Amino acid sequence: MSLDLRPASALQFLLGISLSLVRETKPEGLADLSMRQTSILLIVYLEPPPHTVRGLAAKLGVTKPVITRALDSMGKAGLLSRRRDDVDKRNVIIQRTVKGALYIEKIADMVSLKAKQLQSGSTHP
């Protein structure tokens, strides 16, 4: 499916997705995910592993402590897990979890639904 959106429509699409993320897809034990946390989650689940704190920090253009804080709350909610790299003990490897995979699946379904609504002309966020 391909969407050709004008800027105003693209922003409406983003608003619809954002509202749905806030209203409908909160993982148990976690408040709404921040944009940073959502980006981390999408990177870990959509891009091939391995993922490290250092690599995520570089990709997002933030410091390692910023990534660590985001991972702390996401780890408590069971969306991701961490472990030390067996080869290089300085690296922390970020791993996928079943709960995180199910959450990503919910987001994918929601985005797909919003895209279909946009194509059909429905404007309900």
**Residue 78, Cα to own-chain centre: how many angstroms?**
13
Q: Is residue 48 part of a domain?
A: yes
Q: What is the pLDDT of residues 62-108, one digit of tens each?
A: 999 999 999 999 999 899 999 987 888 888 899 999 999 998 998 89
Instruction: Determine the Cα–Cα distance for residues 52 and 120; give it in Å rounded to an integer.
Output: 41
pTM: 0.83
Contact 105, 75 (CB under 8 A): no
Q: Is residue 2 part of a domain?
A: no
Position 112: which residue type? S
Domain count, the chain: 1
- The predicted pLDDT at position 92 comes to 87
CATH of the domain at 28: 1.10.10.10
Q: Is residue 101 part of a domain?
A: yes
Q: Where are the alpha helices (DSSP H) in 26-95?
A: 35-46, 53-60, 64-76
Place of tokens 């499916």: 1
For 101, the domain range is 7-120
Could you tell me where the beta strands, DSSP code E, fall in the chain?
51-52, 80-84, 92-96
Q: Is residue 1 part of a domain?
A: no
Does the structure show a pLDDT above 90 at 56? yes
- The predicted pLDDT at position 3 comes to 66
